[in-house]
């Protein structure tokens, strides 16, 4: 599916626990969010991008696993104004698997939180997790 021409800010956060190597957490985040800027600060990894294509790995997984309903439900539930978010499993991401979590506790080492901001959020959601696949 073609990337929409829509302005979108993507923020991704993952806690770096004392027992974790920050480079490994960065690796996990970079496996699910492409072409982002990374920053490690105060026990947290942050990735940011303004390119919706950065989400293409997640979008491909949603389509191949036909998981659009799960992602849409999470994004709909977590929407406030022009922002929505969802969690991904950090351990799965480290081994290059995109796996959504309904709750943070489903990821034992803490989740990766993906936050999407857009004035046209519905268009972003429709691209990431189309209603009809």
Kindly report, residue by residue over 14-52, the tens digit of the pLDDT.
999 999 999 999 999 999 999 999 999 989 999 999 999
Q: What is the DSSP string of 82-128?
A: TEEEEEEEHHHHHTT---EESSGGGSTT-EEEEEEE-TTHHHHHHHH
pTM greater than the 0.75 cutoff: yes
Q: Is the pLDDT of residue 1 over 90?
A: no
Rounded-to-integer distance, Cα 86 and Cα 7, Å: 19
What domains appear along the chain, each with residue ranges and CATH number?
9-128 (3.30.1440.10)
pLDDT band at 81, cuts 50/70/90? very high
Higher pLDDT, 4 or 9: 9
Consecutive H or E run containing 74: helix 68-77
Classify residue 53 by its DSSP letter: G
Residue 59 DSSP SS3: helix
């Amino acid at each position: 599916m073609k990337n929409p021409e829509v302005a979108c800010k993507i923020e991704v956060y993952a806690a770096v626990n004392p027992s974790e190597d920050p480079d490994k957490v960065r690796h996990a985040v970079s496996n699910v969010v492409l072409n982002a800027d990374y920053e490690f600060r105060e026990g947290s990894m942050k990735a940011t991008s303004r390119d919706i294509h950065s989400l293409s790995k997640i979008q491909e997984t949603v389509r191949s696993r036909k998981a659009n309903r799960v992602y849409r439900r999470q994004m709909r539930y977590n929407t406030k104004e022009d922002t929505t978010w969802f969690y991904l499993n950090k351990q799965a991401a480290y081994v290059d698997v995109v796996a959504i979590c309904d709750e943070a506790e489903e990821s034992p080492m803490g989740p990766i939180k993906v936050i999407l901001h857009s004035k046209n959020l519905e268009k972003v959601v429709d691209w990431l997790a189309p209603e009809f696949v």
